[in-house]
Structure 1
Amino acid sequence: MKIAVAKGDGIGPEIMDAVLRIFDAAKVPLEYTFVDMGKWVFDKGFSNGMTPEAKHTIEDLGILFKGPMETPKGKGVKSVNVTARKTWNTYANKRVFQTLHGVDTVFSKAGIPIDITIVRENIEDTYGGIEHMLTQDVALSRRFITRPGSLQVIKYAFEMAKKNGARRITCGHKANIMKLTDGLFLECFQEVAKEYPELRSDDIIVDDLAMKLVVRPQDFDVVVLTNLQGDIISDLCAGLVGGLGFAPSANIGDHIAIFEAVHGTAPDIAGKNIANPTALLLSGISMLRHLGLMENAAIVENALLYTLEQGVHTGDFGDKNTPALNTTAFAEVIIGNFGKTPEHMARPLLPNAPVTQTAFKLSRNEMMVSEETQQEIIVGVDMFIESSGQPEFIAKKCQRHAGVKFNLINISNRGTQVWPTGSVYTNLVNQYNVRFESIDGSPLTQQDVLGLYVSLSGDFRICSSELLNMWGERKGYSLAQGQ
């Protein structure tokens, strides 16, 4: 089977060469097609960090194994890592964090075993990178959480938990504050949980989750989160087991999957042959299992676990009283330990599934739309305006533009209501949200809203606007703090 391989930047080529040498020694039945991605590709003028040939190859083969990659700073370009995950809709980021004997942490020394799988939504949230400066003082980032996208990753998490015999699956969220976005994610979790009554499912506010992971990590099994929260919590979990050098990562989509080390490129040690290849090797082992190469995966992983148990280490971890091995020597020791069984966490030698190359040739983009069960109506609009005036001054001007179809309901600044009630102790910036709703809740048209926009623009610069929608009795918008 052919897979695409991108060696990456910094220490990427060294650790990728070490991992592929281990795979070759284990007679892993894969062929590697090397593709051009990373900082040096940005520097050649490719703004997405990959050549057109690389994109075609990855889409043709369906599997990308990649080393760490750097995004040039200050050039207005997007991260190639995020671009790859989003372009190919690898909607589930799976990271497994386990106690590795030979990698000392405060928990391993206390005899507390850790086995946590974080499933992070990988496409949406603030990682859409949709940002605007509304005024010279106010930046806006749009956070998209969608029902179809949430269902995709949550269903994956439940299926994976069921397949692996998980004892618990938890939704981490901030729905107590972000009632619509995180609220939608939590709602989808609760909806999917009904289809898996055999699994214990629960939810937890993400800040409480962070505290409990540090205090009692052994209580958690599978945790599914939105993108940004999942990014932060997965790095926290990496710290529980020894750092990002021991954190594998799999990005799973319906057609394409990406396996990578999530640590940085470490340019300070690049070219010195001293980097730790463990994270990339663990990611590669996850890739082998994804491809059905169970026996090869077990042979390599057992050799790695045995090697760590023996106290063999690179310079970034382990007993400082014993000599550290370089990248090449560390890989060679692992190869020499093929066939040996670790004392802890030994993997069973399951047979490989038949290796088949599955090519998905798509002719158009898939559209994911949920069926609407209730009619959508427009009941108002939020107008985001630029002004340095006081709330009362703004309210008087806005009321003159309300006409016969709108009522001025409230004015807020940075999410806090400042009119009709508020406090002079609330500090203000030069951007307000002015909320108009229809008189008596009557449905409005987009033409009604545009008419208000034109009228209001005579007095204010309008930075942005959002329709206030309702589905049945359900409001599709949040209230201001203090409203």
Structure 2
Amino acid sequence: MKTKIAVAQGDGIGPEIMDAVLRIFKANDVQLEYEFVEMGKSYFDAGHSTGMTAAAKEAIEKYGILFKGPMETPKGKGVKSINVTARKVWNTYANQRDFRTLNGVDTVFSKAGIPINLTIIRENIEDTYGGIEHLLTYDVAVGRRIITRPGSEQVIRYAFEMVRRKGYKKLACGHKANIMKLTDGLFLEVFQQVAKEYPDIEASDIIVDDLCMKLVSKPQMFEAIVLTNLQGDIVSDLCAGLVGGLGFAPSANIGDNISIFEAVHGTAPDIAGRGIANPTALLLSGIGMLRFLGYSANAAAIENALLYTLEQGAHTGDFGDKTATPSLGTDAFADAIIANLGKLPADGGVFASSDFETGHHRTPIKNKLTLTGAHVVEEMIGVDVFVESNVQPDELAAVAKKSLRFNENFELVMISNRGTQVWPTGSIYTELVNEYRIRFEKKPGTSIKQKEILHIAADLSEAVKVCSVEFLMNFDGKIGYTLAQGQ
């Protein structure tokens, strides 16, 4: 029986490259059946705020696989990216992107004889991609960055298992825990904990700016790298540049129940309809999907045909030696791959093996809720109150102290501006904006309740505008908040 999947052609060049890829699948007798679903810009324009119809959502959740072309999110209309929304709604927590040197695709590294073969695993659900932002004042915008222990463990464990399947020996964790000590610190902590279960894999960590420098100077140092969402997004595009661009960068978004395989490059509206787009990235993504579905023989045959075609110098207009051979259009390039089915490249041929654990679609009966730390002792010790004010720090401190006149359990310990302490000590050279953080902590030997903390904010609101409130917590005696710069 054929396996049925949902297919979204995408916007711009999407329909052209999707048609080319599906023709290659058909020529290799891939046993897939397609239900084409409606997603993308035209459905935003038709009034679907999620960018997809109800029928599309139903089909994707029924089959558990979405194969999609590039999609555009309308700008300036207050709608969320359909690409990010799809990944988050269906909890495709691991974004796997494989980068390797391809014969016929010249780069500075291929010309230097330095082969690249590395995989980026990007956390796909959390981080700043929650899109939780607020204007606290006219001058100050904030975004909430969410990193969770269960979400980190999901993607990190996937990365270690992927390393084993691929036969790699090393996995690095890219992070910025030297600055974001709680968020990236949590991600790194989980990485180090999970690494203990994989003693056969060399686990290391590297600060992300150092990682970027090493990737553009010595990419052969790395086999696989796992990162948080935003950093993984940036680093994966950097890696695409190492191997020829996004036109050669496949993408798999893996979840426990639903997975998405897509081209991550843009919709290229300037060349849409001209028949000259490069289908390679979408084809490589489709090859990954075939492996995920268990069609390893088809995947190997199609990939070998692609590699042979590239090796022979065939190319679309965006790459290759245009003086040696003329550029091919989308259909002609696909026809060349079809004609080369059954042929093996002289270098870099692949076998019928899986880079993925074969997917098994399940329909849950309720939302999964993952909890950790059931035995962790929690203690509430204070509060950060964020306020709008245009007075000097000493003046604001006097106002803050007045809010404690009815509560002797707390004391004012610090005021900061843009993360830098400005009271009780600071520098006259620290420039200010009109949003402060006021930190109150309980006095030693006292116990407090949440209601008391909220009363502090309420009393403070009589004098200044309260923008936001964050509780200060200890977990098993370890503080769950950061100090201000200079504190």
The reply to whether residue 269 of structure 1 matches residue 271 of structure 2 is: yes
- 1:336 matched residue in structure 2: 339
Displacement of 1:222 in angstroms is: 0.6
Q: State the number of aligned residues.
A: 481
Q: Distance in 2 between matches of 1:242 and 1:374?
A: 48
Deviations 1:194-253 (A, max 9, x none): 000000000000000000000100000010000000000000000000000000000000
- 2:102 matched residue in structure 1: 100
Superposition pairs of residues 230-309 of structure 1, within 5 angstroms: 230-309=232-311
Q: Distance in 1 between matches of 2:112 and 2:194?
A: 37
Deviations 1:255-279 (A, max 9, x none): 0000000000000000000000000
Q: Distance in 2 between matches of 1:184 and 1:453?
A: 29
Deviations 1:149-176 (A, max 9, x none): 0000000000110111112100000000
Residues 257, 360 of structure 2: 8 Å contact kept: no
Displacement of 1:360 in angstroms is: 1.7
Displacement of 1:442 in angstroms is: 3.2
Given residue 327 of structure 1, which amino acid in structure 2 is its aligned partner? T
Q: Distance in 2 between matches of 1:142 and 1:361?
A: 31
Q: 1:366 to 1:350 in 2, by over 3 A?
A: closer
Residues 291, 353 of structure 2: 8 Å contact kept: no
The reply to whether residue 214 of structure 1 matches residue 216 of structure 2 is: yes
The reply to whether residue 323 of structure 1 matches residue 311 of structure 2 is: no
Superposition pairs of residues 60-459 of structure 1, within 5 angstroms: 60-321=62-323, 322-349=325-352, 358-402=360-404, 403-440=407-444, 442-459=446-463
Q: Distance in 1 between matches of 2:322 and 2:187?
A: 45
- 2:464 matched residue in structure 1: 460
Q: SS of 1:287's equivalent?
A: helix
Q: SS of 2:237's equivalent?
A: helix
Q: SS of 2:21's equivalent?
A: helix
Displacement of 1:2 in angstroms is: 0.1
Q: SS of 1:440's equivalent?
A: coil
Q: Distance in 1 between matches of 2:6 and 2:477?
A: 50
Given residue 331 of structure 1, which amino acid in structure 2 is its aligned partner? A
Residues 397, 423 of structure 2: 8 Å contact kept: yes
Q: 1:349 to 1:381 in 2, by over 3 A?
A: closer
Given residue 449 of structure 2, which amino acid in structure 1 is its aligned partner? T
Displacement of 1:361 in angstroms is: 2.0
Normalising by structure 1, what TM-score?
Answer: 0.98
Q: Distance in 1 between matches of 2:277 and 2:49?
A: 29
Q: SS of 2:483's equivalent?
A: coil
Displacement of 1:401 in angstroms is: 1.4
The reply to whether residue 35 of structure 1 matches residue 37 of structure 2 is: yes
- 1:475 matched residue in structure 2: 479
Residues 121, 225 of structure 1: 8 Å contact kept: yes
Deviations 1:113-133 (A, max 9, x none): 001100000000000000000
Given residue 175 of structure 1, which amino acid in structure 2 is its aligned partner? A
Q: SS of 2:121's equivalent?
A: strand
Deviations 1:328-379 (A, max 9, x none): 000000000001110111012459x9x9x95422221000111333211110
Unaligned runs of 5+ in 1: none
Q: Distance in 1 between matches of 2:343 and 2:352?
A: 12
Q: Which moved more, 1:364-373 or 1:126-135?
A: 364-373
Q: 1:299 to 1:191 in 2, by over 3 A?
A: same
Q: Distance in 1 between matches of 2:417 and 2:374?
A: 33
Given residue 348 of structure 1, which amino acid in structure 2 is its aligned partner? F
Q: SS of 1:56's equivalent?
A: helix
- 2:11 matched residue in structure 1: 9
Q: Distance in 1 between matches of 2:373 and 2:138?
A: 41
Q: Distance in 2 between matches of 1:152 and 1:290?
A: 18
Displacement of 1:397 in angstroms is: 1.0
Residues 8, 37 of structure 1: 8 Å contact kept: yes
Residues 169, 200 of structure 2: 8 Å contact kept: no
Residues 255, 360 of structure 1: 8 Å contact kept: yes
Displacement of 1:443 in angstroms is: 3.3
Q: Distance in 2 between matches of 1:371 and 1:34?
A: 43
Q: Which moved more, 1:37-46 or 1:442-451?
A: 442-451
Q: SS of 2:351's equivalent?
A: coil
Unaligned runs of 5+ in 2: none
Identity of aligned residues (%): 65
Q: SS of 1:301's equivalent?
A: helix
CA RMSD between the two structures: 1.4
Given residue 113 of structure 2, which amino acid in structure 1 is its aligned partner? G
Q: Distance in 1 between matches of 2:166 and 2:447?
A: 50
Q: Distance in 1 between matches of 2:114 and 2:29?
A: 36
Given residue 127 of structure 1, which amino acid in structure 2 is its aligned partner? Y
Normalising by structure 2, what TM-score?
Answer: 0.97
